Each structure stands twice: as C-alpha cells, then as structure tokens.
Structure 1
C-alpha cells in the first residue's frame, strides 16, 4: 500500500492519525517529565492517560460526522459541550489511575486542582477537535478541486462527442435534404425558417462553453431548435409535449445535457414507430431538488418480465452514458439518473440534481 492509497481511504487515514497522534502525545508528556523528579512508574501513568484520550476521542469522530451539516453556531456549541464532557471524564480517569498506581501516600486532588486538570484536558480535546475539522475541510476542498478538474475534462470530452454528432454527415444531410425539398416545392418561407433554426442550433453548439451552466428555460429553448429540425424528417410522426414549472425553468443545468437523451429517444423510439411518436419533457422542483423526466412511447412493450429488455438502449446509447458521466463529474453523489420502462410502451429517463439558481 502506497501513501496515495492511504490518503484516499479516509477511514484508514483517520486511524493512522489517531494512533500516531496519541503516541506522540504520550512521548511529549514523558519527555516533559524528565526535567522533574518522578518515579519510574510514571511511564505507565503517561501511557494510560494517552490510551484514555485515544479511546475517549473516538466517539467524538462519529458525533462530528452526524452534526457536520448543522448551522455553524450550533456546531460550535455542540463541539464545545462535547469536548468539555470528554475532558471532565478524562480528568476523572486520570485521577483514578493515579490513585490506584500511587496508592501509598497519595491523596485525591482537591476540587480546585481537579478544575485546573479538566481545563488542561479541555485544551487538548479542543485541539484534537480543531485538527479533525481542519483535516476534514481540507479533504472536502481537495474533493471539490478534483471534482472540478474531472468536470472540466469530462465536459470537454462531452463537447467533442456532441460536436461529432452535431456535425454528423447523416444529420446534416437529412436536414439539408429536407430544406432542399421545401425549396423544390416552393415552400421558401418554411425552408428559410429551417435554415435559420439549423444555424442557431449549430452556433449555440459551437460557441457555448462546455462547462457553462444555463437556465433550464434556455436549455429547453435550444432543445426545441433541434426538435424542430427533426420534425421536418418525421413530420406528424413526432409530437413534443413540455411541462416545466416556473421554479424549474429558473434552475441552472449543464449546457445541452438533455440533447443526447432526446437523440436517444428519436433513434430508438420515434424512428421505429409507424404511428405518431410522442416525447414528453417534464420538470419540477421538490425538496431543493430539480426533477427532470423525459419519456417516449417507443415500440417496446412494458411487462415486468421484459423491462430489462426495454432499457437495453442504455447500453447502446453513447449519449446516455456520456450524460451520466457529466452529471457524476459535476455533482458527485448528489445526482440521480435512471432509465426505466414506460407504461404501456417506451422508456422514461429520470434525472435529479440539486436545484440551483442564479
């Protein structure tokens, strides 16, 4: 095991620091005692004191983990109170240890000395708590830094994949062929409209920063440019329905994260239907979470036995896996992505990400 693996395993790293720290505390105590005239048995006293501190601070770790997200002033009060309780208990244990080992001629310390002993222990416990929070915050900052670097890398990869699709010869051929057909039948107004939307869509795709976040309303607006282009191919066979709440429309989302999902629906659902295909886009906010749901009525028939077959498009769709990787890079564990069977036919993509606004 190398040092990098040690730092990545948070639980192992804690125990290494815990053990090393209290051994160091015992050594410092013993070295400080060498300047005074003490009995040889004082080594045992120091070792038992360090061992008591080692054991008593372990529950603090689990307490601090549970209260990590409380308000700062509540956190400070709980930490101070818990540290005081641990310090007082540690002082009692030290006193009892001294009494048992120095039985002859030893008397329990008086209340004033006990108070001073408790205060000294409190400084040590507060120092332990401070180191715990400093290391924890440092680990969080490192996680955020790594997450940001990963997000940048994944976003650039995602942009390349999107550009590879958006400039796909088949896509451009189908779109330009549809425009050409409109011109031949003297539908110049419709042809001009389609050319304008194609231009706007490609301009947004090429000019937009890959890691930039935009409002969901803007995301839907650009998505409609893409769908309007596809409607030329499928005509009445493609119907799009949207239901976006006001709060959801204000939410910040990764740029063009829905386009690969819509592409997937068109490829595996709409293109395989002889009847009308329907794509529904819904978005709402609940419990500070943005919920986005995209569903289609593809040809797969829903049954409990065949549900796994109906989601096979997930493994074959580069866009879906790409979207999941982008969400993971941007939000870590604070996202949800699921592809399931729709009822009676088709598929549903459910996405949940933190609700963030400008």
Structure 2
C-alpha cells in the first residue's frame, strides 16, 4: 500500500480518483450531445479527442500532482497552507490550459489523419479561456476539499479509536487493581480463620477451607480480562467467596439467594458483585455479634437488570447525595442529572464501592443507577444496569 493509501486509509483511492474524472468527462459528453441536438447541429464525434478527452485526461494527471502537493503541505500552519494552495490553484489552472492543448494536439496526431486545430489556435486567448481558468480553479478547490475532508475524517477516527483503546486499557488496569486490592484483605481473614481452626484442632474444617480458598483464588486469577462476563460466571465466583465466609462466621450467618433464572445468561462487568458482598461483610456483618443475614437477589425490571445485596448490621457507608435524608439514605449515581463529582461518591469506607462506581461510569456513562438504602436492620445496595445479552442470544 503506497503512502497516499496509508494516510487516507483507502487502498483504491487512485482508482476512485480516475473514476471521478471519467464520470465528469462522460457528463460533459452527454451535455454536449443534448445541447447539439437542441440546437439542431450535428455532433462531431471526432471532436471528443480534443474535448473532453484531452481536457479531463489533463485534470486526472494534475490530480496526481495535487495529491503529492497536499501530502507535502498537510502539516503546515493553516495560514501558510491556505496561501500555498491559493497559489497552487492559479498554477493548476494555467498548467491545465496549456497541458490540455498539448495533449489534444498529440492525441489528434496519433488517432486522426489530420489535426482539427493547431496548437497555436488552442493557446490563443479568447473570452471562454477566462471561464475555463475559473472552472479549473473550482475543480482544484473541489478536489482539495475532498481529500482534506477525507484526511480530517480519518484523523478524527484514528483519534477516537486510540482514545477507546486507552479507555479499555484503563478499565482493564482498574479491574486488575481491584483484584489486587481485594485479595490481601480477604486472604488475611481467611488465613486467620484457618489458623484458629488449626489451633482448635479442627483439621477437617481447616482442610476444607484451604481447598475452597485455593479453588476461589485459582478461579479469580485465571479469569479472562473481558469487559463483560455472564451473571452465572459472576455468581459462581461470589458463591466460592461466600463458602469461605460461611466457615468464618459458622452458625451466626444466613445466606439467602433469590436469583431469577432469566438473569443468569445476561452480561455484567466482572467483579461487579464481589466488592459489594465483601463490603457487606467488612462494614456490616463483621461489626455485629448478632445473627447476620446476607441476601443476594437479581431480577429484570423493564429494560434493566437489577442486582441487590442486603446485609443486616450497621450501615456500610454514609451518603452525601444532595437532597437525600439520612433516614432514606438513597444514593443515586449514574442518572442523567448526577450530583457534582465531589458529592456523588459514598464517603467513608469501601474501596469496592468507589471502584465499582468508577467502572460503571466508564462502561455505561449515565445509563445506570447505584442506590444505597439504609433500611431497618440493615443496608440494601441496589444496582440497575442496562440489559446486555450474550452475543449468541443477541443474534438468536
């Protein structure tokens, strides 16, 4: 692929250029035939060699020079660029006037037994020459506008793709950072529980917990860094996590699931539930000595997937969303009229909450809701995400 095709990202650009001038020549031929018929004159087909064949053949050759001239000036300052191309249009028009006359004579000598017009006659100034020069200048400006527009379009497209690639890399880095931040805290608690079991000589329970911990870490670390996973995959990881936490809290924890079957194939961001469940333990269940309850529920509401995590115990976070009374404690994030950035994030504890909100903002912009309800006896965290089906289901 030549430099021109690489810059404009159009491998057949030169062919399209030749087709453009051919179509213009054909339109002029048709116009001339119609005009001759309207005036009752006989159309001279031999005259096509001099015009428009020589005329547009010259335009085509000059367009190749215009491409090269544009490539050499495309990075100049706008003022210099405009000045050079104004001069280029003048030179283009004059060179076309002379060049088309020379090419016309050469073609007539090659294909006709006798020239229709001598070179001197073709280069004689007459009133239509001025109009021809203006027409040539117009075609120069038209061609320049087309290639400049194509160049700007692909520059913006490349910039957009580059920004999207950087955004995806940032999302992946943020997800990886979330995994790194979550695992040490969880590992500390799990290993501490295993240590207490060994000291209490509960060896079978310790072995089971070690196996469960190993399975969960293996599953977490081996997962692909995809932007979305099915809710079934996400729930499998959460269940592995809860199996270990259930051993820690033993008889004083009840885990409830209310998972709608139609939600399992839907796609969600990876680790979207895990931080919420971990925060429920860290800031709610772990701070009470009473019997605790954790409930995870999913459902479809209209065109939204609803994910809910409820934990009994004290409130996990304080909210600062404007216009919200602490008794209701409802934080709405991701709506189209969000509070200022300084007010929209839950304050206090919880890397999981902050990272979850940041990731959802990047993935869904304004098309999601993150809500926290301080209810009697516990806290309910609710996520409302746009429905996103798996590719297979989307094409079914």
**TM-score under structure 1 length normalisation:** 0.53
Give the distance between the partners of 2:162 and 2:171, measured in 1 at CA.
Answer: 14
Unaligned runs of 5+ in 2: 1-148, 319-323, 332-343, 392-396
Match of 2:25 in 1: none
- Choose the corresponding residue for 1:314, options 336, 340, 346: 346
Give the distance between the partners of 1:281 and 1:139, measured in 2 at CA.
Answer: 44
Displacement of 1:262: 1.0
- Find the residue that maps to 1:235 and give its secondary structure: helix
Superposition pairs of residues 53-72 of structure 1, within 5 angstroms: none
Displacement of 1:225: 1.3
Inter-CA distance 307–142: structure 2 relative to 1 (3 Å threshold): farther
Displacement of 1:328: 1.7
Inter-CA distance 190–146: structure 2 relative to 1 (3 Å threshold): same
Give the distance between the partners of 2:206 and 2:220, measured in 1 at CA.
Answer: 21
Match of 2:231 in 1: 216
Displacement of 1:143: 6.5
Inter-CA distance 314–264: structure 2 relative to 1 (3 Å threshold): farther
Displacement of 1:313: 9.4
Residue correspondences, number: 222
- Choose the corresponding residue for 1:356, options 383, 389, 395: 389
Match of 1:166 in 2: 183
Q: Work out whether 1:181 is the aligned partner of 2:196.
A: yes
Superposition pairs of residues 149-164 of structure 1, within 5 angstroms: 149-164=166-181
Preserved contact between residue 370 and residue 381 of structure 2 (Cα < 8 Å): no
Give the distance between the partners of 2:284 and 2:196, measured in 1 at CA.
Answer: 25
Inter-CA distance 256–305: structure 2 relative to 1 (3 Å threshold): closer
Give the distance between the partners of 2:210 and 2:176, measured in 1 at CA.
Answer: 23
Superposition pairs of residues 57-96 of structure 1, within 5 angstroms: none
Inter-CA distance 248–146: structure 2 relative to 1 (3 Å threshold): farther
Match of 1:345 in 2: 378
Superposition pairs of residues 16-27 of structure 1, within 5 angstroms: none
Over residues 251-302 of structure 1, what are the superposed CA-to-partner deviations in whole Å (9 max), with x where a residue is unaligned? 1112111111111111111011121121111111233321111122222499
Preserved contact between residue 312 and residue 378 of structure 2 (Cα < 8 Å): yes
**TM-score under structure 2 length normalisation:** 0.49
Give the distance between the partners of 2:160 and 2:373, measured in 1 at CA.
Answer: 31
Preserved contact between residue 372 and residue 382 of structure 2 (Cα < 8 Å): yes
Match of 2:365 in 1: 332
Displacement of 1:350: 2.7
Match of 1:203 in 2: 218
- Find the residue that maps to 2:378 and give its secondary structure: coil
Q: Work out whether 1:194 is the aligned partner of 2:209.
A: yes
Q: Work out whether 1:268 is the aligned partner of 2:283.
A: yes
RMSD: 3.4
Give the distance between the partners of 1:141 and 1:331, measured in 2 at CA.
Answer: 22
Q: Which structure's CA Rg is the greater one?
A: 2
- Find the residue that maps to 2:347 and give its secondary structure: helix
Q: Work out whether 1:229 is the aligned partner of 2:244.
A: yes
Match of 1:59 in 2: none
Preserved contact between residue 368 and residue 383 of structure 2 (Cα < 8 Å): no
- Choose the corresponding residue for 1:323, options 336, 350, 356: 356
Give the distance between the partners of 1:225 and 1:158, measured in 2 at CA.
Answer: 19
Match of 1:280 in 2: 295
Inter-CA distance 326–189: structure 2 relative to 1 (3 Å threshold): same
- Find the residue that maps to 1:217 and give its secondary structure: helix
Preserved contact between residue 260 and residue 320 of structure 1 (Cα < 8 Å): yes
Preserved contact between residue 151 and residue 211 of structure 1 (Cα < 8 Å): no
Displacement of 1:320: 0.6
Inter-CA distance 173–320: structure 2 relative to 1 (3 Å threshold): closer
Preserved contact between residue 329 and residue 372 of structure 2 (Cα < 8 Å): no
